[in-house]
Amino acid sequence: MDQGGKLIVFSAPSGSGKTTIVRHLLQQPQLNLEFSVSAASRAPREHEKDGIDYYFMSLKEFKDHIKQGDFLEWEEVYRDNFYGTLKSEVDRIWAEGKNVIFDIDVVGGLRIKKKFPEQTLAVFVKPPSVDELKIRLKNRKTESEEKINMRIAKASIEMATAPQFDHIIVNDVLEKALQEAEELVAEHIAAPTTPKND
């Protein structure tokens, strides 16, 4: 992988609003961002499109890519439910001369930060509270009560990793969170990068 532009990671428990923040940032032309589409070993949800929301793969395809070392990071988020970032995706965006923005799992976000410490800005989006998170997940009406409870249990573990990120944004008032995210990203992109020699 070539050393290209900057990497911006947004991670958060499901329902924290990170996707809304990432979508907002992608609409700011001055930031020159392109979304890194993750790979997933699950079927698309109703409104999801392959290659836009995720690269949807079968479990076997995903595991073959792991064996071939095609991922920058990957994780089994739930049993037989894999998500990951293909190296080719980051190379594609860098080849276009753009900065890469990720909307990924906490573990994946920290792995990218570790691999590219100088180039990566890692931001953790925190919900105002776990209770608020549960309300947001229920309002989505996309998952069963059991699935929601699984996500809430996972959220508590994910919240504990927040201090390992460069910045924490508490998404209480969306407008404020969007502005804060925009300022952080603009500052990161403007900063010079000194690539470390391995």
pLDDT at residue 109, as a whole number:
95
For 59-73, what is each residue's pLDDT tens digit? 999 999 999 999 999
Mean pLDDT, 10 residues at a time, over the chain (198 residues)? 84 91 97 97 93 95 98 90 95 96 93 95 94 88 87 90 97 96 97 64
Domain 7-190 adopts which CATH fold? Rossmann fold (3.40.50)
pLDDT at residue 195, as a whole number:
54
- Separation of alpha carbons 151 and 13, rounded Å: 8
Residue 166 contacts residue 122 (beta carbons within 8 Å): yes
pLDDT at residue 198, as a whole number:
44
117 CB neighbour count, 10 Å cutoff: 10
pLDDT at residue 78, as a whole number:
79
| Residue 56 phi, psi dihedral angles, 5° rounding | -80, 130
Q: Is the C-alpha dihedral spanning 14, 16, 20, 21 positive or negative? A: negative
pTM: 0.88
Q: Where are the domains of the chain?
A: 7-190
